[in-house]
Amino acid sequence: MQQYLLEKCQEHWQQLNINSEEDLCHVILDIFGSAETQSEVLVELYKLALPEWDRIEKVHGFPEVGLEFWKFICRELIEFDRRHHPDVFAGGLWLNNGFQSNSKLDPWELSLANCTVTYFGGENEIHHAMSSM
């Protein structure tokens, strides 16, 4: 069970043909290109890390990413906000609710080690992902 979230994420990334940093960047840029609001972007980024998003009632903690991964998303969200939401603090939603950066991870690594979820529908189990991608 401890590997469950990580395995689901890895399967999802395989389905999306994410095999490199470049592939990941293209997927993230596509998210920004199709979204109209910063909250849409944030939800899609969470779906990228937690593909069972629609079954999840609550996320406890935050996914963690390496510094380059975090900076890439932050820069893109700042630019997105400047274009779509000029009256808000650019990148503020990411700073408050986005993934955490972790300098101990590889630059483009995603870790779910400090993230747990509670599912809807009477599923009382909380799955922990102790490894990283």
Task: Note whether 8 and 119 are within 8 A (CB).
Answer: no
Residue numbers of the chain with a pLDDT score lower than 70: 1-2, 122-133
**What's residue 92's pLDDT?**
86
Q: For the CA atoms of the chain, what is the radius of gyration? A: 15
CA angle, corner 72, sides to 129 and 91, nearest 5?
A: 95
Domain assignments of the chain as residue spans, ordered by start: 4-128
Q: What is the pTM of this model?
A: 0.87
